[in-house]
Each structure stands twice: as structure tokens, then as C-alpha cells.
Amino acid sequence: MPDFLTRRNGTWHFVRRVPAEFSDFDKRGIVRHSTKVRVSSDRTGRRAIRVAERLNDELEAFWSQCAIGADPVTAGYEEARRRARSLGFEYVQFADLMAFSNEKRWERLDALLSRGLENDATARTALLGTQPQPSILLSKLFAEYEELMREEIEKYSPNQLKVWRNGRSRVVKELVDITGDKPVTELSDDDGLDYVEWYRERAKAKEVEAGTANKSMGMLSRMLKEISVRRRLKIPEIFKGLRLRAPDSEIRRPFETGFIQSRLLADNALEGLNEDARLILYTLADTGMRPSELVNLLPEAIHLDAPIPYVEIKPVGRVLKTKSSKREIPLVGAALAAMKLRPDGFPRYRDKSSSLSATLNKYLLEHNLRPTKDHTVYSLRHSFKDRLVAARAPDSLIDSLMGHKRGGPRYGDGPPLSLKLEFLESIAFKPPSRL
């Protein structure tokens, strides 16, 4: 590292030649940065070396981004923004800088001159706004968004990450097919309308549901907004106010309580369905859990020997749908009987909730156990809530069991297990006799 330090006008400077393998996209030849550490106060260069190490790490990160295919303009723009912030300013494009007052413009020039940075090309670029703002093509939208969200998605389970990627790359491809590939800053309200109308026609033809269209627009909106804010691109909100109205037929229908007990939980009712899937269905009926929550329970989250047997929903190895999804649910009735047979959970379907839902829904359909096409295995969760409402459970307790967020500030720890148990026992199903 001392090889990259040199004295200049009484200050330690970081100086490094651009390696030949990076010269195609970094035309500076030699990179110079002031460490802003005076030689007189740091004779051995110890403090300057620490600054130089940071500058070198940022420089090598920039080169690495370009080497793996990242747009040099984007990487250069990010480097200019970082350098401007390190000098106490926000990066501003040259054209916008010219609209500033003379005093504001002079502050930047003075920073260059007073710190001896007038020959530092990177500092000049950062404070004078001469680095072009990157233009992100629509086809690169998902890749750019994934990079911005890297810290968040690293907590996802493998299946969660697969679903996250597939959905977002799909909707970006749809938008590109409709609008053509163009810079994201050139998107217009007409592009949003074209996308909505394309989905509207598909919904009329019964190819997709309105909910799918709205979910797709939501994903695109979030991606565009995140990139607009983080990259300061001023991308228009092309889907603002646009939604397809979902017909009543698309609303999930809860199973009737009597139907669950007499048809789904009857002895020999689910013959031919694999035992894990059958026990999962029994547990869902008496806990209201989301299928993804149940199949991802780890042994340490299942407490069958506690005074009140219960399960914990917590983010271990995956991300929960919402923060409020973290909760404890007592085991009663069919759920307690089923979980006693699976004290370690359901490894067969762990991180495979989509496969489970497909298996259960197909079985229920083929055996005439779905009163309508709008009844699915997820309908058991809706039935669970309806039964709690009928039992006059407090809203706070219902939200606590369902994992729903309540409006307003949260106080205390919420309803205790004993109170949850009281209401769940009052609505518990009788398990099949073979359990």
C-alpha cells in the first residue's frame, strides 16, 4: 500500500496506475486522490495508509464491477457520487449546477482549490458534475433492481429467492415486449396504459385473473420507484391509479365449518393423499397458518411438551410475509393430533409450499372436495378467521393468531397463550378417529 502513496504540496496523495486489463473502460491512465492528511502531522504515513486502503478498495470495486459486465457509466456515476459525499457535497449534474447561485458554485470550486484537488480528475468530476448520468435500459431493470436489493434478499430461502426472481423478471419481460426496450426515464403514462390494457384483454379471455395483473403492476411499480429514488433518475409513475377491478368470483371462499368437519376431517376422507399432506391439512384447519409457515416449521419451533402445546412462527432461514407474521399459536383439536405425529415438522415439503398447495388443491378437486373453483387449501385460513369472529374473539386476538398487522402503535406483548387457547378450544375440530 505505501507504493500507492506520494507526497504532493505537503499532503499525502493516493496515486495508482490503471492496470492494462481495465484500461478499456477506465481511460484515466493514472488515478490520483488526495488523502487530505498533511505530511507534517503524519510523518510515517500511518493515517494516510488507512485512507489510501479505503480509496484503493473503492477503486478496485469499481474496476471489478466493470470487469464483470457492469455498465462503466453506471459504475463511474456511483464512484462520482461517493467521492462527492466524501468531500461534503451531493453529486449534481453540471447542467443543474449551473442553475445554482454563484455562492453555491464557488463552494465547490473552493473545496477543490483549498484542498489541493485541482489536479485530481475524480474530485473535479465529482464536484463539477461532469460524469454522465447512467441510462438504464428497461431490459436491464431487473438486474439493476436485484443489485440494489441484494442485502434484503440474502435473507430469503432458496425457494423464496427463486419465486422472487421469477416473478420480477417475468413482468419486466412483459413490459419490454409491449413497449419495446428503452431507457427507463423515457417510460410514459401511455406505456402504463398499454400494459394494463394488454392484461385487461387477457383477463376478459379468462387467460389470467385481475389479481395477477394488479400484482404484476405492483412489482413493476416498486422496482421503478426504488431505482428512481436510489439512482436519482426521476422515472415517471406510469401505473399510478391503474388497477383492474377483481370480480367477486376471484375472491377466495372460506369452507363452511360443517363441510370441514364432515368432509375434510371425516374418517377415510382423504384416502390416497400422502400422509404428510393429509396431516398438514388437518393442522391448517385448526391453526389458520399459511401453508408456507407450517411446512417451514423447524423442530425447535414445535413445543409439544409445553404446558400449552404450541408452535412458533419465526424467520429462521427465510423471510416472513410481514413482521406481524412472527407469532405463537396453541395447538388444539386436529392440529394437536397431527403435530404429535410430526414432532419434527414436515421436511418433505420444507421450502416447497407451492408443491404442497398444488398437491392438495389437485387432490381436493379430483375428489369433489372443493365446493367451487374459488375454494382452495388457502380457504382454510379464511375459515379459521370466520370461526374466531363467530366465537366473538377480540380483534386483537384474531390479528395475533392470523399474523395480521393492527393499525396504530403496538403496546405490550399481545394476547397470552392461555387466552388464545381458550378461544381455539372453543372452535377446535374433532380429529379423525385414526389420529
pLDDT tens-digit map of 244-271: 887 655 567 899 999 999 999 999 889 9
Average pLDDT, the chain: 88
β-bridge partners, 119 = none
The dihedrals phi and psi of 14, each to the nearest 5 degrees, come to -90, 125
Residue 69 has pLDDT above 60, yes or no: no
Which percentage of the chain shows pLDDT scores above 90? Answer: 53
Q: How confident is the model at residue 426 (pLDDT cuts 50, 70, 90)?
A: very high
In CATH terms, the superfamily for domain 257-427 is Intergrase catalytic core (1.10.443.10)
Confidence at residue 58, expressed as pLDDT on a 0 to 100 scale? 79
pLDDT, tens digit, 9 for 90 and up, residues 107-149: 988 888 888 888 888 888 888 888 877 778 899 999 989 988 9
Confidence at residue 166, expressed as pLDDT on a 0 to 100 scale? 96
Q: Work out the average pLDDT over 335-352.
A: 95
Q: How far is CA 346 from CA 15, 121, 285, 296, 358, in A?
A: 58, 60, 16, 7, 16
Q: How many CB atoms lie within 10 A of CB 325?
A: 19
Domain with CATH 1.10.443.10 in the chain: 257-427
Lowest mean pLDDT: which of 71-75, 264-268, 399-403?
71-75
Confidence at residue 260, expressed as pLDDT on a 0 to 100 scale? 96
Q: Where are the alpha helices (DSSP H) in 244-313?
A: 257-259, 275-287, 291-295
Nine-digit cell string for 247: 370480480
Confidence at residue 46, expressed as pLDDT on a 0 to 100 scale? 84
Give the angle subtended at the CA of 125 by the CAs of 123 and 128, to the nearest 5°.
100
Nine-digit cell string for 243: 388497477
The CA dihedral of 359, 364, 365, 370, to the nearest 10 degrees, is -140
Residue 275 has pLDDT above 80, yes or no: yes
Which percentage of the chain shows pLDDT scores above 70? Answer: 94
Q: Work out the average pLDDT over 392-402.
A: 93
Evaluate whether the domain defined by 138-250 bears CATH number 1.10.150.
Answer: yes
Single pTM value for the model: 0.67
Q: How far apart are CA 425 and CA 254, in angstroms?
A: 20
Domain with CATH 1.10.150 in the chain: 138-250
pLDDT, tens digit, 9 for 90 and up, residues 142-192: 998 998 898 889 999 999 999 999 999 999 999 999 999 999 999 999 999
Q: How far is CA 25 from CA 14, 32, 81, 125, in A?
A: 20, 17, 18, 16
